[in-house]
A and B are shown apart, each in its own frame.
Chain A
């Protein structure tokens, strides 16, 4: 009995450790003064200021825009590549898979400076294009890694059967293979989107004049010290995230129930 209570306390203390900083930020986003220790009245002025801050708004547009674009492009390239890689045998496959794994294994900062070196070498101006290209580059490997297992699970005679029945290779791919690996494609796209929207290091090295994302904006604000506008931003992001996760969780639970409780 005592050990049960100790376990409970330990678990809740850890959760407190994880949530306390976020909760404090949320509470102080409504604080009237800039101070963080003292409560001096309720206000919404930091939210007003957040939506007046053109830098933050611009960064938000770039963050979402780049996340959507890089998710779409890396999913398309990744899906085609995964199907192709699945069709290769032997050493070639091993080499490609290992190279594909490099951006996953390498520290972000190494990937970031290597891409920066490349863009400098080719002579592209740093900005939207370099940021998008670098995001696509680090997203594709994750897309491929989430599709390949689905291809492996697929019955390889399915496509052959379709072609025996008169389907052209393209038609068989579109009507048989793609639907079969759809869950993997979907997971890949989701991973790409979250990686891109959350990225800081790679964007930080490959950004250009006037083109930033939210992470970079937060970093430069935080370096200048405390800024209650960031607290307001945290609160909004936390709420959006909470609603999104609750929605996904609800949906999953429903689908689990539909399948009779089997996960």
Chain B
């Protein structure tokens, strides 16, 4: 039976909707003026080397790294605590953690707008306690908070799914052999959970570095991350050539990051899906 014939329609689909669009972006990034004229240039990439844009890249990467590290620090204990619960309790706890993730992403981000605002709930409490209201919104801290809030479950779930699979007899035999709690954690639990950590890191870092919604809503209209820069070039400035160049830079950056992290991920199967 020639089953492979069935894949041909999708091969055409891939060509039209995946390969050609990316090729067009690549073409845009290396040309200027009219696309039909094919004026090849590397000016779009050179333009990005301006300190103004490099700074945007730097802030995006810095915020994404900070949010990844913080979600890891906050999320790992959560995953560990849940994984040690009784199975019946475990499922309920995980359900509670997944639930907000099903809410619309924009609503979750918008929620912080109402909490952190000048007349928001947090400032109301601060004033009630007799302090001066704070500027909580439209700064780096607010954007970072938004990222941590939105991406924390992405860190907890993969780590949890690896931790529950750890064979308990390993831990018991370590105890029998005289290991203390700290040794059990650093020698057994932590090394075995590395695939989950790697998955978690990629799942948080990737959307964090490419977001433009969190930075726009919680960082204010002037706040620029690399995602906002792409949005601005395509939708408001109309310089598709420069916008394409930034997209290519971002894409290459992320593919390299993924290649590096997957190098650390020695047990491919262990990384476990989200579900």
Assess whether A21 is in contact with B10, with CB atoms less than 8 Å apart. no
A22's contact among B13, B93, B100, B243, by CB below 8 Å, is which? B100
A198's contact among B13, B96, B105, B115, by CB below 8 Å, is which? B105
CB within 8 Å for A36 and B119 given contacts A117-B24, A137-B18, A205-B235: yes
Chain B 109-122 interface mask (CB, 8 Å, partner A; 1/0): 11111110101110
B108's contact among A22, A38, A109, by CB below 8 Å, is which? A22
List of A residues within 8 angstroms of B8 by Cβ: 84
Assess whether A245 is in contact with B121, with CB atoms less than 8 Å apart. no
Which secondary structure dominates chain B's binding surface? helix
How far in angstroms is the closest Cβ of chain B from A52?
A: 20
How far in angstroms is the closest Cβ of chain B from A169?
A: 5
List of A residues within 8 angstroms of B102 by Cβ: 194, 241, 245
Assess whether B100 is in contact with A19, with CB atoms less than 8 Å apart. yes
Per the bound structure, the CA–CA distance linking A32 and B66 in Å amounts to: 39
CB within 8 Å for A21 and B212 given contacts A96-B14, A114-B21, A241-B102: no
A230's contact among B18, B107, B112, B115, by CB below 8 Å, is which? B107
Assess whether A140 is in contact with B244, with CB atoms less than 8 Å apart. no
Assess whether A37 is in contact with B119, with CB atoms less than 8 Å apart. yes
Count of B residues near A, CB < 8 Å?
A: 81
A102 in contact (CB, < 8 A): yes
Per the bound structure, the CA–CA distance linking A77 and B18 in Å amounts to: 15
Look across to chain A and name the residue whose beta carbon is closest to the beta carbon of B8.
Answer: A84
Chain A 221-259 interface mask (CB, 8 Å, partner B; 1/0): 011001000110110011001100100010000000000
Most chain A C-beta atoms within 10 Å of own C-beta, residue among B35, B100, B217, B250: B100
List of B residues within 8 angstroms of A87 by Cβ: 1-4, 6-7
How far in angstroms is the closest Cβ of chain A from B52?
A: 20
A209 in contact (CB, < 8 A): no
CB within 8 Å for A215 and B14 given contacts A159-B1, A245-B95: no
Assess whether B111 is in contact with A237, with CB atoms less than 8 Å apart. no
Per the bound structure, the CA–CA distance linking A163 and B2 in Å amounts to: 13
How far in angstroms is the closest Cβ of chain B from A35?
A: 6
How far in angstroms is the closest Cβ of chain A from B125?
A: 9
Per the bound structure, the CA–CA distance linking A22 and B100 in Å amounts to: 8
CB contacts under 8 Å to B, within A49-102, are 77-78, 80-81, 83-88, 92, 96, 99-100, 102
How far in angstroms is the closest Cβ of chain B from A212?
A: 12
Look across to chain B and name the residue whose beta carbon is closest to the beta carbon of A103.
Answer: B18
CB contacts under 8 Å to A, within B44-64, are none
Chain B 73-97 interface mask (CB, 8 Å, partner A; 1/0): 0100110011000000000010111
Q: Which candidate, B165-173, B185-193, B251-259, is the interface stretch facing chain A?
A: B251-259
List of B residues within 8 angstroms of A48 by Cβ: none
Assess whether A140 is in contact with B217, with CB atoms less than 8 Å apart. no
CB within 8 Å for A14 and B103 given contacts A116-B234, A117-B28: no
B240 in contact (CB, < 8 A): yes
Look across to chain B and name the residue whose beta carbon is closest to the beta carbon of A263.
Answer: B87
A28 in contact (CB, < 8 A): yes
Most chain B C-beta atoms within 10 Å of own C-beta, residue among A11, A18, A87: A18
List of B residues within 8 angstroms of A186 by Cβ: none
B195 in contact (CB, < 8 A): no
Chain B 140-167 interface mask (CB, 8 Å, partner A; 1/0): 0000000001001100000000000000
Assess whether B104 is in contact with A214, with CB atoms less than 8 Å apart. yes
A158 in contact (CB, < 8 A): no
How far in angstroms is the closest Cβ of chain B from A81?
A: 3
List of A residues within 8 angstroms of B24 by Cβ: 114, 117-118, 121
List of A residues within 8 angstroms of B244 by Cβ: 113, 117
A7 in contact (CB, < 8 A): yes
Assess whether B100 is in contact with A114, with CB atoms less than 8 Å apart. no
List of A residues within 8 angstroms of B19 by Cβ: 99
How far in angstroms is the closest Cβ of chain B from A258?
A: 17
A219 in contact (CB, < 8 A): yes
A153 in contact (CB, < 8 A): no
**12 further A-B pairs in the complex, CB-CB below 8 A; given A18-B100, A109-B210:** A18-B97, A22-B111, A24-B114, A25-B110, A81-B6, A87-B2, A99-B18, A140-B10, A218-B104, A218-B107, A222-B110, A241-B103
B contact residues vs A (CB 8 Å cutoff): 1-11, 13-14, 16-22, 24-25, 28, 35, 74, 77-78, 81-82, 93, 95-97, 99-100, 102-115, 117, 119-121, 123-124, 149, 152-153, 206-207, 209-210, 212-213, 216-217, 221, 227, 230-231, 234-235, 240, 243-244, 247, 250-251, 254-255, 258
What are 6 of the A-B contact pairs (CB < 8 Å)? A22-B103, A110-B247, A113-B247, A115-B17, A201-B212, A230-B107
